[in-house]
Amino acid sequence: MTPLRQRYLQDLQLRNYSPKTQEVYVECVSLFARHFGKSPEALGPDHIRIYQLFLAHEKKASWSRFNQTVCALRFLYRHTLHRDWVIQHIPFPRKESRLPQVLSLEEVSRFLQAIPPLKYRVLLTTLYATGLRASEALHLQVGDIDSRRKTIRVRQGKGHKDRYIMLSPKLLVLLRRYWKAFHPATWLFFGASLDRPLSIECLQKAVQRARQASGLTKRITAHTLRHSFATHLLESGTNIRIIQVLLGHNSLRTTARYTHVTTAALASTLSPLDSLPPARPD
């Protein structure tokens, strides 16, 4: 490991960035340096601009990847290399506005019923019943389930914040059945051994097997269940501020995007055409 990479990692750790973010940032900086065959210390604003154009036009990088690269380089030049030109010369791209994919209630039911193994059925049902991120669900511990208070504790979710969410009575019944069958020790959804949580790869494979078995043609990921959870709550009349807290969003603007995908309000809204007086007979 080069001294610069070691110092960069230390700076990320000092600011309490998650291990996953550290890994992504280091990879982005490494690819940037490799593109020019030089250390980032020898590169400047013009190189960053050229690399951004390369990502956008040749690599066709997604907005997410482009944004990660910008964040990684901003951190490197601002905090590790202390270059005072960084703020002016690393612009953020405009994010594409796309509505999240959402399943209907009937589609969620078909999807969950198509999962034969109890372990994965309980895991995916938990994702929909709670709106948890995949990483949050996989890191649930047995002690986080409070059946008396009907709550679930989410430890160190995004932004390193704890929060509590509701525990559905139906989910509690399913969790009790799961516990009797598997007797998890620490991690609620353990992997190959009891002392390690299930991997994200195993979860993703389970989602795709369930999608194929259900016959649904929509693109479905674990996050689709989170989107569906939020949208269905909004359609049932739940206050958007409560949904924000349940999802662990810092900004209400992030939660508000679900108002664009609710169909209940759209279906009950009359078009101006329906208010026109009857047409005269020909």
Could you say which of 121, 226, 227, 232 is catalytic?
Answer: 226
Q: Which tokens hold the place of 19?
A: 């291990």
* Amino acid of residue 201: E
* DSSP type of residue 131: -
Contacts 24+ apart (CB under 8 A), 256-261: 257/99, 257/100, 258/100, 258/227, 258/230, 258/231, 258/234, 259/234, 260/99, 261/99, 261/100, 261/102, 261/227, 261/231
Handedness of CA 76, 78, 84, 87 (dihedral sign): positive
Could you say which of 83, 110, 209, 223 is catalytic?
Answer: 223
The SS3 call for residue 254 is: helix
> Would residue 223 show up in a list of annotated catalytic residues for this protein?
yes
Our CA angle for 77, 56, 224, nearest 5°, is: 95
> Would residue 128 show up in a list of annotated catalytic residues for this protein?
no
Q: At what angle do helices 200-214 and 222-235 cross, to 10 degrees?
A: 70
CA distance 64 to 59: 13
* Amino acid of residue 143: G
Find out whether 162 and 155 touch, Cβ atoms under 8 Å.
Answer: yes
Q: Which of 206, 194, 44, 222 is nearest to 132 (CA)?
A: 222
> Would residue 79 show up in a list of annotated catalytic residues for this protein?
no
The pairing of strands 161-166 and 145-146 is unpaired
CA distance 71 to 93: 11
Q: Which tokens hold the place of 39?
A: 């250390």
Could you say which of 7, 59, 249, 257 is catalytic?
Answer: 249
Could you say which of 133, 139, 211, 232 is catalytic?
Answer: 133
CA distance 132 to 225: 9
Could you say which of 158, 163, 209, 257 is catalytic?
Answer: 158
Active site residues: 133, 158, 223, 226, 249, 258
